[in-house]
C-alpha cells in the first residue's frame, strides 16, 4: 500500500470507531514497503482504559504480533497528531517514522485539548497542578541499583 492508502486506512478506522461508539482516532503500523502489521482505534470508553488510545492500541498489537518491544523498521500512520502519552509511546517503541492527518489544533477544536499536559511538562514538579512529592527515595533506589548491577538484563 502507498503512504496515502495507509493514511486513508487510519482515517477509515477513526470513522468506523465513531460508528462503534468510540473516539475519532485510528492508527496503522506498517512496514516501509506498505504492509500493514497492526491497527488500533481509540478504546478509552469501551475498555474503561484511559491509556487505550489508537496509537497505543496499535503499538500493543504490533508488539504482540511481532514478539518484540522494538518496532524499529516500522512506521505509524495515525489519523491525528498524537497526544503526549502516545508520542512518548511512539518514541519508546522506536518506530522509524510517523505520519498524521489532523493536527493537535484540530483535535482541540472538537474537545480533545492536550495543551494543558504540554504546559504542565514545562513546569517543575512542585509547580504542577497535580501535587507530587518524593517519598522513600533511598528505598526506591535499591531497585535501580539492582538493575544497574544485573549482568543479563535486556536493555530497552
By annotation, the residues acting in catalysis are: 55
Give every strand in the sheet of 26-31, ordered side by side: 36-41, 26-31, 74-80, 97-102
Contact, 57 vs 17, CB < 8 A?
no
DSSP E strands in 3-142: the ranges are 26-31, 36-41, 74-80, 97-102
Q: Show the cell assigned to 55.
A: 496509537
Amino acid at each position: 500500500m502507498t503512504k496515502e492508502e495507509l493514511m486513508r486506512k487510519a482515517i477509515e478506522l477513526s470513522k468506523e470507531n465513531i460508528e462503534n461508539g468510540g473516539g475519532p482516532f485510528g492508527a496503522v503500523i506498517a512496514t516501509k514497503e506498505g504492509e500493514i502489521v497492526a491497527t488500533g482505534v481509540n478504546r478509552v470508553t469501551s475498555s474503561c482504559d484511559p491509556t487505550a488510545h489508537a496509537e497505543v492500541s496499535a503499538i500493543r498489537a504490533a508488539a504482540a504480533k511481532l514478539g518484540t518491544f522494538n518496532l524499529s523498521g516500522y512506521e505509524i500512520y495515525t489519523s491525528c497528531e498524537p497526544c503526549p502519552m502516545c508520542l512518548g509511546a511512539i518514541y519508546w517503541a522506536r518506530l522509524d517514522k510517523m505520519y498524521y492527518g489532523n493536527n493537535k489544533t484540530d483535535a482541540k477544536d472538537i474537545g480533545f485539548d492536550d495543551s494543558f499536559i504540554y504546559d504542565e511538562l514545562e513546569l517543575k514538579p512542585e509547580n504542577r497542578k497535580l501535587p507530587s512529592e518524593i517519598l522513600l527515595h533511598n528505598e526506591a533506589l535499591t531497585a535501580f541499583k539492582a538493575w544497574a548491577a544485573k549482568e543479563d538484563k535486556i536493555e530497552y
